[in-house]
Amino acid sequence: MSVLVFAENWDGNFKKSTYESVAYASGLAQAVGGTATAVVIGNVSADNLSTLGKYGATKVIQYDGADVNHQAVASILAQAVQAAGAKYVVFNGTWKSKGAAPRLAIKLSASLATEVVELPSSTAPFTVKKKTFSGKAFAHVELSSDVKIIVLSTNSYGVKENAVTAAVEKGSGSASEKDASLQHVEYQKTTGKINLTEAEIVVSAGRGMKGPENWGMVEQLAETLGAATACSKPVADIGWRPHHEHVGQTGIAVAPNLYIAIGISGAIQHLAGISSSKKIVIINTDPEAPFFKAADYGIVGDALQVIPKLTEAIKKLKG
Amino acid sequence: MKILVCISSVPDTTTKITFADGNTKFNTAGVQFVINPYDEFGLSRAMQLKETLGGNVTTVTVGRADTEPVIRKALAIGADDAVRIDADPMDSLQVATEIANYAKDKGFDLIITGRESIDYNGGAVPGMLAELLGINSVSPCVKIDIDGTTATMQTLIDGGKEVVKSALPLVAAAQKGMVEESELRIPNMRGIMAARTKPLAVIPGSAAGNAKFKTFDLPAPKAACKMVSADNVEELVHLLHTEAKVI
Ligand SMILES: Cc1cc2nc3c(=O)[nH]c(=O)nc-3n(C[C@H](O)[C@H](O)[C@H](O)COP(=O)(O)OP(=O)(O)OC[C@H]3O[C@@H](n4cnc5c(N)ncnc54)[C@H](O)[C@@H]3O)c2cc1C
Ligand SMILES: Nc1ncnc2c1ncn2[C@@H]1O[C@H](COP(=O)(O)O)[C@@H](O)[C@H]1O
């Protein structure tokens, strides 16, 4: 039984989230007794394509189409699923995938689970664990349709290696005119920044920083760690930081290996979006701040004093 | 301009989540329900669009009678009328199918949903609904402007933003940005009074889903936080390196 995985690329390159979904598809293929086939749309070099084998894709099908939108992804994937007779489709947790998967579910009369965090606990009935209540809880969802679609929660499964040789094929098919009716106008890309959802380390700060002028030290700490920066909701609302950095129940959900929370009280809405982090560090002047209950390591102290020292100590460690 | 806003009734964001009946059901005892925060951004933008372009704002909710306080709140914020499709929402497919069945011959120019419901986190209704209706969808939609029969929108991509354009009708899945926090509409006394007599139609639901929420569980509790002195940040770095192995 073939498992298809949408291997998303950015200008011909894959990112960690793509490899994670390929690794998941490979794990799923083993569970259901099949193989994992990666579907690539657009121009990707043979060298880059072959890297998908490292995470367990035995076959890669490459379709034409530059810079396709989520609707085009859904219609090309529908053709790929039908051509392969696939019963499972796996997506990474990016915006494009989250947009494409529900449309594909309708095209294929498939069952869909999003925000999935693990391989199925049972394949008959097919049951997967997903995040609910913005990460405050998990649900075990049974997918009953013949074709099943899974959208992975980024950083939940891990980029597991399982090296095989990937055979590359050309796929025949393309998006319909209808999908192009959603017209691209322009991109406003943020370059050189580490993607928040994919980041292994996130340095996040809140109102305890007192003002935007103090964020330089937060950025320095993040840079030293190779981390992405994030913030609490009020900090984005008052314009100290851009909206796309706001994490929590009504912002971005993150699941890094390390989440460092500076001057953030730990409100339930904030914790909801970050509780999947593997390790949490908190720095706060108030020993009673609720965040300490959700953290692994804590420092009671003034952020403005502690952060520069912490950055220095990490620099020393990294030599 | 005929606008349909999909409103999901969800537990207030401060709710401590617990489950009942052997972890098979969300425990609603003592829980306050609110308009899904993303739907609130969408409804507020719908009100702005109505004020500049004229027209009508209808809300639709798939749910039982217990969702009516939340529907009345949407009416108090300014929606002209509301529809409740009477059913227990089980999954995104069922909800999307109910709304599509209702909306398909009503001639809505714009359908606004939230980008995700904060209870079951499907993030799937907008895309499913659009596909069922055969129209474009933009999710998440962080800006929408309408000029005649064309919408210009801003969406998020991994690594930035994208501006897209589409003819109406379409489905736009709201999140913050569609309006700012400060532009969120709050019901005033007059609105609340008016909402009592605004039309709220109830129609029977009939759609089925294909994903079943069987059981729930909570994340494993955290062990006690290890405290490190502010004068000894080297100790923290050491622990993160050798014990947690995350740096
Ligand atoms: C519908 C709704 C949705 C929400 N969604 C979100 C969400 O998605 N994400 C989110 O983050 N919030 C969300 N919130 C807001 C949330 O309830 C809190 O208000 C918010 O998280 C608090 O932000 P904060 O911790 O930065 O600020 P505060 O609560 O003001 O906390 C500041 C902290 O900094 C500490 N501090 C002060 N000075 C220093 C110093 N010098 N050094 C170190 N520490 C210091 C203080 O002790 C305090 O603990 C939501 C609220 C609502 C109503
Ligand atoms: N029961 C419901 N009734 C009406 N609209 C809903 C319902 N459930 C979800 N929606 C809409 O679909 C959006 C996305 O929900 P979901 O796909 O469940 O995450 C929500 O923000 C609502 O706008």
Q: Is residue B123 part of a domain?
A: yes
Mutate to test the pocket of ligand 1, among A196, A229, A233, A292 (most ligand atoms within 8 A of CB): A233
Put simply, the answer to whether A281 touches B128 (Cβ < 8 Å) is no
Put simply, the answer to whether A183 touches B92 (Cβ < 8 Å) is no
* Total beta-carbon pairs less than 8 A apart between chain A and chain B: 256
Q: d(Cα A254, Cα A230) in Å, to the nearest integer?
A: 10
Write down the pLDDT at residue B6: 98
Show residues of chain B in contact with A145, CB under 8 Å. 210
Spell out, as residue ranges, where chain B has pLDDT lower than 50.
none
pLDDT above 80: residue A191: no
Q: Is residue B229 part of a domain?
A: no
Q: Is residue B201 part of a domain?
A: yes
If we measure between CA atoms, which residue out of A116, A73, A199 comes closest to residue B127?
A73
Q: Are A137 and A169 in contact (CB under 8 A)?
A: no
Q: Which residue among A257, A302, A314 sits closest to B237, beta carbon to beta carbon?
A: A314
How far from each other are the two terminal CA atoms of chain B, in whole angstroms?
54
Put simply, the answer to whether A133 touches B167 (Cβ < 8 Å) is no
pLDDT in tens, A264-319: 999 999 999 999 999 999 999 999 999 999 999 999 999 999 999 999 999 999 98
User: CA-nearest residue of chain B to A9?
Assistant: B158
If we measure between CA atoms, which residue out of B223, B247, B230 comes closest to residue A298?
B230
Contacts of B21 (CB under 8 A, 6+ apart): none
If we measure between CA atoms, which residue out of B70, B38, B15 comes closest to residue B218?
B15
Q: How many domains does chain B have?
A: 1
If we measure between CA atoms, which residue out of A55, A33, A37 comes closest to residue A169?
A37
Q: d(Cα A277, Cα A271) in Å, to the nearest integer?
A: 10
Chain A (142-201) residues lying within 8 Å, Cβ to Cβ, of chain B = 142-145, 178, 181-191, 193, 195, 197-198, 200-201
Range of the domain at B165: 2-217
Which residue, judged by its Cα, is nearest atom 9 of ligand 2? B8
Distances (CA, A) of A216 to A232, A270, A292: 17, 23, 25
pLDDT above 90: residue A193: no
Q: Is B135 on the interface with A (CB under 8 A)?
A: no
Q: Is residue B189 part of a domain?
A: yes
Residue B236 Cα to ligand 1 midpoint, Å, equals 23
Report the gap between the CA of A206 and the closest CA in chain B (Å): 17
Write down the pLDDT at residue A189: 85
Q: Would you call B28 helix, strand, or coil by DSSP?
A: coil
Q: Are A111 and A144 in contact (CB under 8 A)?
A: yes
| CB count in 10 Å sphere of residue A172 | 10
pLDDT above 80: residue A206: yes
Q: d(Cα B138, Cα B130) in Å, to the nearest integer?
A: 9
Ligand lying closest to the C-alpha of residue A304:
1
Q: To the nearest 5 percent, what fractions of chain B are helix, strand and coil?
A: 30, 35, 40
Say which range, A49-58, A188-197, B125-134, has the weakest mean pLDDT.
Answer: A188-197
Which residue, judged by its Cα, is nearest atom 13 of ligand 2? B114
Chain B (27-46) residues lying within 8 Å, Cβ to Cβ, of chain A = 37-38
pLDDT in tens, A104-137: 999 999 999 999 999 999 999 999 999 999 999 9
* CATH code where residue B199 lies: 3.40.50.620
Contacts of B168 (CB under 8 A, 6+ apart): B109, B110, B146, B149, B150, B151
Angle subtended at Cα B142 by Cα B140 and Cα B147, rounded to the nearest 5 degrees: 110
Amino acid present at B209: G
Ligand lying closest to the C-alpha of residue A285:
1
What is the share, in percent, of chain A residues with pLDDT greater than 90? 94
Q: Is residue B168 part of a domain?
A: yes
Ligand lying closest to the C-alpha of residue B32:
1
pLDDT bucket at A167, cuts 50 / 70 / 90: very high
Mutate to test the pocket of ligand 1, among A134, A207, A274, A299 (most ligand atoms within 8 A of CB): A207
Q: Is residue B241 part of a domain?
A: no
pLDDT in tens, A9-25: 999 999 999 999 999 99
Q: Is A315 on the interface with B (CB under 8 A)?
A: no
Q: Which residue among A113, A182, A298 sits closest to B227, beta carbon to beta carbon?
A: A298
pLDDT above 90: residue A173: no
Which residues have any ligand 2 atom within 6 Å of their CB? B 6-8, 36, 38-39, 60-63, 89, 92, 95, 113-114, 116-117, 120-126
Write down the pLDDT at residue A190: 80
pLDDT above 80: residue A8: yes
- Of the two residues A142 and A190, the one the predictor is more confident about is A142
If we measure between CA atoms, which residue out of B30, B51, B3, B24 comes closest to residue B185?
B51
Q: d(Cα A182, Cα B157) in Å, to the nearest integer?
A: 15
Show residues of chain B in contact with A103, CB under 8 Å. 127-128, 130-131, 137
Question: Span A89-101, mean pLDDT?
Answer: 97
Write down the pLDDT at residue A67: 85
Put simply, the answer to whether B131 touches A106 (Cβ < 8 Å) is yes
Q: Which residue among A133, A142, A269 sits closest to B212, beta carbon to beta carbon?
A: A142
Contacts of A216 (CB under 8 A, 6+ apart): none
| pTM assigned to the model | 0.97
| CB count in 10 Å sphere of residue A33 | 8
Q: Is residue B245 part of a domain?
A: no
Which residue, judged by its Cα, is nearest atom 37 of ligand 1? A208
Write down the pLDDT at residue A169: 95
The two structure tokens encoding residue B224: 């006690």
Could you tell me where the DSSP H helices lie in chain A? 16-32, 46-50, 70-84, 95-108, 215-225, 233-237, 268-274, 303-318
